[in-house]
Amino acid sequence: MFIQNDINSSPLSTAFHEAGHVLIHEIFDWPYIDVSVTEAGKEGVNYSYPDPKPNSPDTDKLIYACVCCAGAVAEDKFKFGHDAPKENLGASLIAGYGYFGSDATKFQELRLPAGTLENILEITADIVLENWEAVSNIAQIINEQKHVCSEDIHKLLNETSFRKDTEQYLQRLIDVLKSFGG
């Protein structure tokens, strides 16, 4: 599967968007093959894991929801800088789904309980902010090389301050689902 976003923004901004997706793949060991940013405005993370369906295990749906949110969060953090309030990061996913329609549509297809998007978005923002150095490094290599395989990103992250607290992040996501009756 190739996640494709049609985002009319700078190549570096787009690289940050894709870096957000990749970060979540890395944290949750969600398999992917590579990530690309092209001059034609088509970019995405090429991954080998199938899209979760409404009847998939809840953990798969929660991780995938995080992947969907992370691109918007990372791109907004890059665009709005250090002073951006956390609650504004990824807000375009909630407010009419803006130009992140592809990611928002994928989120809706998961059929998670109403109200979970805001909470998953908050957890995703925490993950991205706690790992901002890693996101920045991933975005830089994506922007420079335009096509990066997962092995090169693994190597980069081994040399970077990277908080891979998978169990804590996953428990927070599961707690959100439980609080909404899921």
Section 25-31 average pLDDT: 89
Instruction: Give pLDDT, residue 52.
Output: 65
Section 92-112 average pLDDT: 59
Going 30 to 161 to 128 to 151, the CA torsion angle's sign is: negative
Split at pLDDT 50, 70, 90, the class of 9 is low
Q: Which residue has the tokens 């998978």?
A: 166
- The CATH H-level superfamily of 11-179 is Peptidase M41 (1.20.58.760)
Instruction: Give pLDDT, residue 55.
Output: 65
Instruction: Give pLDDT, residue 2.
Output: 34
Instruction: Give pLDDT, residue 124.
Output: 93
Max avg pLDDT among 33-42, 120-129, 157-166: 120-129
- Sequence spans of domains, the chain: 11-179
pTM of the full predicted structure? 0.83
Split at pLDDT 50, 70, 90, the class of 112 is confident
